[in-house]
Structure 1
C-alpha cells in the first residue's frame, strides 16, 4: 500500500470515528434527559465514559504489544458498535450504566492506538499529523449539524441507530490502517517507564492537562441542555457544536506551522488561558451573539491544546516509550480529567446552577495554567529536584 493511500485510509477512519462522536456528544445529555435521568445521573454516565480512558488505553496498549494493532483496533471498534446497539434496549439508569461501561471500555481503546499509528506514519512519510487528524473534525462537524436536523425531523429515536451505522463503518475502515507489524513497539523494561515518570516536568504537565480537560466536563455533559434552556433548539445546538469544531479544523490545518512559529510553550499557555476565557463568557453571557462567538475558542481549548500536547509528549518520551507515553497522556487528560470534570460538573449543576458551574470550570483551567508554568520551567525537569527544593523550603 502506497504512503498516499495509507494516508487516505487514516483520514477516512478519523472521519468516520469522529462522525460517530459528532452525533454522540452534543445529544448524549439531551438523550439521557429524555430517558428521565437527573443531572447527577447524567454527570455520572458522562464521567463513566471518561473514567474508562484512565485504564483502558494502557490495557489495550499492552494487549497490542502481544497481539498487534491489526487485531486489537478492529476488534475494539466492532465491540463499540455492538455496545451502542445494546443501548436500544436500555431505558433505566442501572442498565444504561452497565452498557456504558462496556461500550466506552472498547471505544477508549481505538483512538490512542490509531494516534500513535498516525504519528509514526507521518514521521515516515514526512506528512503532518494535523492534516490527517483534521478529517476527524470535519466528520464531527457534519454529523453534529446533520444529527440536529435529523432529531428535529424524527426525534431522539434516530440518535442511537445513526451512531451505530458510523461505528460499523469505522470498524470496516480500521481493517486497512497501516499498523506496524507486531504492534506499536517492542516491549520495554518497566524501570525505563518508571524513570520517566519520576521526572517533575512530566508529572506537572500531566496534572495541568488533567485540570484543562476537567474544565470541559460541564461543557460535554450539559452544554446542549444549557443552551436549550436559553431558547435554542436542536438545529441551533448542532450548529454551535459544528461551528466550534470547524474552528478546531482550521487550527489543525495550520497548527504545525503555528507551533513552529510561536513554539510549543506559547501555544500551550495560550490554549489554557483561552479555555478559561471561554467558560467564563459562557457562564456570563449564555445568549446570542456571545454564545456563538465564544465557540470559536474551541480552536484553542481543544485544537491547540491537543495538537501541542501530543507533540510535547511525543518529543518528551524516547522512541521505545512513545506509545506508552501517549496512552498515559490520554488516560490522564481525557480519562481522569474528563471523569473528574463530568462528575463534579453533574454535582455542581444540580447544587449551584449552570453559570456557576462554568465559572468553576474557568477556575480549573486557570489553576492548570499555574501547573503548566511549573511543568515547562527548566529548573523543574526532574522530580527529585522538586522534592529536594520542597524539603529545603520546609526547613
Structure 2
C-alpha cells in the first residue's frame, strides 16, 4: 500500500512537471512574439532556457549531496512558480524578461535530475520499473501540448501564463510527498564517496560526449521539423498529430523499456538508439513524403525514450547511491543542457546555409559520430576503474 502511494506521487510529479513543459515549449516563442519581441530576442530568451540547464543541475546536485533532495526539490519547485509569476511584471521589457527567464529556468532545471535519482533509488528498492513511472511525464506532455493549444485558440495568449503557473504550483505540491531517500543533512563524520573519483573515469566522459552528440542531433527536429514538414505539403493539423504520435511511441517504449534492458542489456539498447536516431534524421532528410515521415516518427521511441531510459540506467550504475543525484545532474546538464543548446544553435546556422535536407543530413552524421564515442564508453573497465563505482 505504501509503495503504491509513493509510486503514485512520483507519477503525479512527472505528469504535472511535463504538463507545464508541454504547455511551455510549443508556445513560449509565440507568447514572446505577442509581447512584442523580435526574432533575435526570442532566440536569446529561448537559448537562455536551454543553457541554464548546464550550470543549474550541477549546483543543485552538489547541494542535494549534502542537504538531501527533500530540502532542495520542493523549494526549487516553489521558487520556479514564483519566478514564473514574475513574467506578469515584465510587461514586454527585454532586460526584465531575460532576468526572469534565467531565474525560473535556473530553479526549474534543479528538480528533474534530483527526482530522476529519487525514482531510480525507489524503483531499485521496490523492484519497480523506472520507465513505467517516467511515462506519466510523456502523457502529461501530450495532454498539455494539445490542451494549451485549445486554451489559446479560445482565449488567446492570455491563457499562457496562468495555465502553466497552475501546473507549476501543482508540481510543487506533489514534490512535497516524494519518497526521498532519507533527506536531511548527513552526519558530518560519516564517510562519503568523492565525486572526483567518479570524474576520473574516462568512460564517463566518452559517454557524456556521445550523449551530447546524440542530443545535439535533435536540434534540427525541435527547431525546424514543423517548418520542414509544412514545406513538403503537410498542414499544421497533420504536423501537430505527428508530434503527438511521436510522443505516444515514446510512452509505449517507456512502458516496456525496462524489459528490453533486462533482456538485451544497456549497451545494446544504447547502440540501437544511436543508430536508429541517425536513420530517423536521414529518412527525414532524403525521403520527406508523408508515408515515410509517419513511419520514422515511430523512431522517437528510440531517439529519445530508449536513449534516455538506457542512459539513466547507465549513469545510475556508474555512481554510488550517495552520489547518484550528482551523477544525474551531470548527465542532465551536459547532455540536455549543453547538447540541446549546441544543437539548437547549430541547426539555425546550418538551416540558413544548407536548407532543410542538409540540416537533417548533418543531424544524422552527428548521431552516427556519437556511436564512435559510445563504443569507447562501453568498453570493459579496468579493475582500478571498477573500484570507483
TM over 0.5: yes
Q: Match for residue 342 of structure 2? A: 340
Deviation at 1:347, TM superposition (A): 2.8
Give the secondary structure class of the aligned counterpart of 2:298: helix
Q: Match for residue 125 of structure 2? A: 124
Deviates more, 1:216-225 or 1:310-319: 216-225
Matched-pair contact (CA < 8 Å) for 1:29–1:224: no
Alignment match of 2:210 (pick from 182, 201, 208): 208
Matched-pair contact (CA < 8 Å) for 1:217–1:342: yes
C-alpha distance in 1 between matches for 2:212 and 2:201: 17
Deviates more, 1:167-176 or 1:319-328: 319-328
Which segments of 5 or more consecutive residues in structure 2 lack a partner in the other structure?
none
Q: Match for residue 163 of structure 1? A: 164
Deviation at 1:28, TM superposition (A): 3.1
**Where do residues 317-336 of structure 1 align in structure 2 (5 Å cutoff)?**
317-336=319-338
Q: Match for residue 73 of structure 2? A: 73
**Where do residues 280-299 of structure 1 align in structure 2 (5 Å cutoff)?**
280-299=282-301
Q: Note the aligned Cα RMSD (angstroms).
A: 2.7
Alignment match of 2:225 (pick from 223, 242, 255): 223
Give the secondary structure class of the aligned counterpart of 1:182: coil
Change in CA separation of 1:38 and 1:266 when aligned onto 2, cut-off 3 Å = farther
Q: Match for residue 392 of structure 1? A: none
Change in CA separation of 1:232 and 1:17 when aligned onto 2, cut-off 3 Å = farther
Change in CA separation of 1:14 and 1:286 when aligned onto 2, cut-off 3 Å = same
Q: Match for residue 314 of structure 1? A: 316
Which segments of 5 or more consecutive residues in structure 1 lack a partner in the other structure?
384-395
TM-score (norm 2): 0.88
Deviates more, 1:148-157 or 1:323-332: 148-157
Deviation at 1:12, TM superposition (A): 0.6
Matched-pair contact (CA < 8 Å) for 2:64–2:325: no
Question: Deviation string for 1:78-133 (max 9, x for gaps)?
Answer: 22223333334453554433322111101100001111111111112111111111
Q: Match for residue 113 of structure 1? A: 114
Change in CA separation of 1:382 and 1:48 when aligned onto 2, cut-off 3 Å = farther
Q: Match for residue 371 of structure 1? A: 373
Matched-pair contact (CA < 8 Å) for 1:16–1:167: yes
Change in CA separation of 1:214 and 1:45 when aligned onto 2, cut-off 3 Å = farther
Q: Match for residue 178 of structure 1? A: 179
Give the secondary structure class of the aligned counterpart of 2:183: coil
Give the secondary structure class of the aligned counterpart of 1:353: helix
C-alpha distance in 2 between matches for 1:101 and 1:8: 31
Q: Match for residue 149 of structure 2? A: 148
Matched-pair contact (CA < 8 Å) for 1:46–1:221: no
Q: Match for residue 97 of structure 1? A: 98
Change in CA separation of 1:181 and 1:207 when aligned onto 2, cut-off 3 Å = same
Deviation at 1:372, TM superposition (A): 0.6
Matched-pair contact (CA < 8 Å) for 1:46–1:339: no
Q: Match for residue 273 of structure 1? A: 275
Deviation at 1:31, TM superposition (A): 4.0
Matched-pair contact (CA < 8 Å) for 1:43–1:345: no
Change in CA separation of 1:342 and 1:43 when aligned onto 2, cut-off 3 Å = farther
C-alpha distance in 2 between matches for 1:105 and 1:144: 22
